[in-house]
Amino acid sequence: MTGSLSLEDRVTALEDRFERLDGERRARLHTPAVDELLRLVADEFSIAPLDIRSHRRDIDTTAARWLVCWLARRLTAYSYPQIGRALGRDHTTIMSAVRKVDDRRASDPAYTRMTERLLDQARCLLADPEGLDG
C-alpha cells in the first residue's frame, strides 16, 4: 500500500517504473529493418516516418503504413507481432495490411510496378544499409 511508503520511496518506485517502461519501449522498437523500410516508404510518399507510426488514418498515411508492413513481412524474419510492435499496431492489423497490399497488387499494374521498385530498393538497403546514400 502506497500510504505506508514515504514520499521519497514513492518517487523512487515511480522512477524505477518509468525507467523499466522506457527500456521496454526501446526494446520493442528496436527493429532496425522496419525502421529502414519506414524511412524508404516515407520518402516515397513524401510523408514523415512519425506520421506512418502515428494513428493518422488519411489514405496516404494508411497506404504507406500498409506498404511498410508488406515490405517488412516480405524482407525480414520478423513475425506479424514483431512488426506490429515496431509500428505500434496489433498483429492482426499487420496481417490485414499485408493482405490489402497483395489484393491491390493483383488488380493494379501501376501499383505492382511501384511496389516492385520499392521491394528492389529495400532489398539493396537491407543488404547494405550504408550504401543507400552513396
Question: pLDDT of 66-102, one tens digit each?
Answer: 999 999 999 999 999 999 999 999 999 999 999 999 9
Q: How confident is the model at residue 134 (pLDDT cuts 50, 70, 90)?
A: very low
88: left (phi over 0), alpha (psi -120 to 50) or beta: left
Question: pLDDT of 34-44, one tens digit each?
Answer: 999 999 999 99
Instruction: Kindly report whether the global pTM for this prediction surpasses the value 0.85.
Output: no
Continuous H helices in 47-108: 49-53, 59-75, 80-87, 91-107
